Amino acid sequence: MIVAGLSPESSDNFHTRQSGGPPQSNPLQIAMTPSPKTAFVTGASSGFGRAIAQRLLQAGWRLIISARRRERLDALAAEFPERCHIACFDIRDSAAIDAALAGLPENFANIDLLVNNAGLALGTAPAPQADLAQWRQMIDTNITGLITLTHALLPRLIERKGLIVNISSIAAHYPYPGGNVYGGSKAFVSQFSLGLRSDLHGTGVRVTSIEPGMAETEFTLVRTGGNQAASDALYAGVTPIRAEDIAEQVAWIASLPAHLNINRIETMPVNQSFAGFQVHREG
């Protein structure tokens, strides 16, 4: 199968090599002008974000990598120093976002792809016992930070007829005990993606929402305050989604011709499916 914009050899390599395996001698190369296209990836210090950044760098993209943990961004940028620009800030800090964008070097200023990956879940308690501060932190990160950066970059993305990929979750559609504000925040991301797609009609800008199910990254450790036993129990006997699997989806979407838009991708591991409704019985 030939992917638009790729040579037959690189297209076959993209579709046949195992996700997450070591880079082969001829990794995916997206056809570009002499100046590489530029992507902005948030939450690039770990998990999905780091895997997405690595995959796009392997594909020849120039990257702006953003997260709070500078040392992790430095380690990632060291692999591709000429094609990485570090923008270290907390996505909840609107002033820091403005400063980071104002400080972009000229060769990173034209942004073709925004990957809104930064986000988190905190706590597993039901709503009456939940920590209100954690709820607010999830809203500030998963919603307010995402829309602030997106709004700031829309003029550049429109000028470049670019692509926005928002990382949502199956929690946007399927509730579960303790999901409360996390699920609500991801439902916002999914609906916001559809709204952007509608508002950007006629601009050439594409918008995709990726909605993964059970994935093994640092996500559960963050959610449980570093409880490794809880993380191990969750994934015991399961083959979950890997960060590299989602990175491959982003690379595929970014490789598609400009006249195609992938509206939404929902992905679960085979070990995960749908459960029945809860029923409370009296007496």
Among the listed residues 174, 176, 182, 235, the single catalytic one is 182
Pairing state between β 38-42 and 62-67: parallel
Phi, psi at 72, each rounded to 5°: -75, -35
Please state the domain extents for the chain.
Answer: 34-267
Tens-of-pLDDT digits for all 283 residues of the chain? 444 344 333 434 433 334 444 444 444 444 443 468 999 999 999 999 999 999 999 999 999 999 999 999 999 999 899 999 999 999 999 999 999 999 999 999 999 999 999 999 999 999 999 999 999 999 999 999 999 999 999 999 999 999 999 999 999 999 999 999 999 999 999 999 999 999 999 999 999 999 999 998 877 778 778 888 888 888 899 999 999 999 999 999 999 999 999 999 999 999 999 988 989 999 8
Residue type present at position 81? P
The span from the CA of 250 to the CA of 51, in Å, is: 10
Handedness of CA 73, 269, 224, 128 (dihedral sign): positive
Sheet of strand 84-88, all strands in order from the earlier edge strand to the far edge = 84-88, 62-67, 38-42, 113-116, 163-167, 206-212, 264-267
Chain Cα centroid distance, residue 203: 23
Q: What is the DSSP letter of 118?
A: -
**pLDDT for residue 2:** 41
**pLDDT for residue 34:** 46
Q: Is 174 among the residues known to form the active site?
A: no
The three-class DSSP label of residue 19 is coil
**What's this model's pTM, rounded to 2 decimal places?**
0.86
Q: What is the CATH number of domain 34-267?
A: 3.40.50.720
